[in-house]
Amino acid sequence: MGDPHGIGIVGLGAISAQYLATLTDHPHLRVTAVADLNQARAAEVAAEHGAAALDVDALVADPKVDTVLNLTIPAAHADIALRAIAAGKGVYGEKPLAATFDDARRVAEAGAAAGVPIGCAPDTVLGTGTQTARAAIDRGDIGSPTFATATMITPGHERWHPNPDFYYTEGGGPLLDMGPYYVSSLVHLLGPVSAVTGASSRSRDSRIIGSGPRAGEPVPVSIDTHVTGILEHAGGALSTLVMSFDGSATSAPPIEVHGTAGSISVPDPNTFGGDVTLHDGTSEDILTPSAGYADAGRGIGLIDMALADHDRPARAGGDLALHALEVMTALIRSATTGRRLDITTTVDRPALVPLTPRATWHSPARAT
């Protein structure tokens, strides 16, 4: 394949360590440059990984950088992505693709016009959990899929996060925070969404920080903290989505897909693995992993994108991220207006990931 694919990382916060653990020593990729507002942090990471510590302008202009890995805060996602695209670089970013749907569409359109690849987390759905469930559905193990449930219920991030303010302002909330994992998984399992109907509520107007130096401090709540809705998939299945910061816990499977001949429980889409359980009405069987990148970590979507070609597009592509963001923002608008809303974007269902051991996806053999 010639020289390794050069990666330039912008933003070296906590999540960057997980990406670096996945990307380091991959034979076809190399971290060549890093940038962060904290110059000392950038210098430290650069020294550890044999990369150059640059500012953002120099990084996106660096000829050794083929793809910019955008790990900045959501408000900066569109700006960094557009600068990288203008420099002819591919972009792979943390979710969401941009802070707003309009900005995300600008990024997608700019990437298409420039002919550069765009990818976006979550890539957890490329692991053996979601992909094994997808393989079972594709085999007809549950018959024809008819509906699904997707459930995420927590008491709120203020219990553990020392600075949870963002989660309770515009752009935060349970749906935009955790929904990308669930919506992306549902698209992998059942295909794109054509329309949504949403409803939402708010349990209280302030939250109390439970840990850290601000423990006991109230945080104002300006957005709804419980969102539920119906997703109408283009193939005919319906998904019921519940994303909430207003409950204590739930015993419901994170995702369950029902069909004419059975049901399948899908593990947490915020993780790469987990048990997939098939129910046929009389028995339950835990399925042996049969698809997905095994023992994967955050960054496998970037590897998948870098090794993709015209015959097999990136499985964590920008088109899926744009579609998922529209689904989520439309649900919020639907909850506000009380109207069913059509989704204007669509996406091809990403290709199934064949069962790929770490020794294969992290070796010189080309990933499939």
**Measured distance between the N- and C-terminal CA atoms of the chain, rounded to whole angstroms:** 15
Condensed to tens digits (0 to 9), the pLDDT of residues 241-293 reads: 999 999 999 999 999 999 999 999 999 999 999 999 999 888 899 999 999 99
Q: What is the pLDDT of residue 38?
A: 95
Confidence of residue 25 (pLDDT cuts 50, 70, 90): confident
Task: State whether 91 and 202 are in the same domain.
Answer: no
Question: Does residue 100 lie in a domain region?
Answer: yes
Task: State whether 116 and 193 are in the same domain.
Answer: no
Task: State whether 179 and 265 are in the same domain.
Answer: yes
**Residue reference for tokens 């042996």:** 288
Distances (CA, A) of 326 to 12, 42, 179, 224, 258: 28, 34, 11, 18, 25
For residue 255, what are the β-bridge partners?
A: 150, 266
Residue 182 backbone phi and psi in degrees, to 5: -75, -45
Residue 123: how many CB atoms within 10 A of its CB?
A: 27
Q: How many domains does the chain have?
A: 2
Task: State whether 277 and 235 are in the same domain.
Answer: yes
Condensed to tens digits (0 to 9), the pLDDT of residues 338-363 reads: 999 999 999 999 999 999 999 888 86
Q: What global pTM score does this model have?
A: 0.94
Confidence of residue 2 (pLDDT cuts 50, 70, 90): low
Residue 167 is given by DSSP the state G
Segment 160-173 shows an average pLDDT of: 91
Distances (CA, A) of 120 to 70, 73, 127: 9, 14, 15
Domain that includes residue 45, residue range: 5-120
Segment 69-83 shows an average pLDDT of: 95
d(CA 299, CA 96): 15
Q: What is the mean pLDDT of the chain?
A: 95
pLDDT at position 368 over 60: no
Q: Read off the CATH number of the domain in which 15 is found.
A: 3.40.50.720
Task: State whether 109 and 158 are in the same domain.
Answer: no
Question: Does residue 304 lie in a domain region?
Answer: no
Task: State whether 152 and 100 are in the same domain.
Answer: no
pLDDT at position 35 over 70: yes
Condensed to tens digits (0 to 9), the pLDDT of residues 297-354 reads: 999 999 999 988 777 899 999 999 999 999 999 999 999 999 999 999 999 999 999 9
Residue 141 backbone phi and psi in degrees, to 5: -60, -25
Task: State whether 197 and 290 are in the same domain.
Answer: yes
Q: Which two tokens stand for residue 263?
A: 């049901």
**Contact (CB, 8 A) for 80 and 64:** no
pLDDT at position 365 over 70: no
Helices 39-49 and 14-23 cross at an angle (nearest 10°) of 20
Question: Does residue 226 lie in a domain region?
Answer: yes
**Residue reference for tokens 């996945």:** 22
User: Where does a domain end: 79, 100, 120?
Assistant: 120
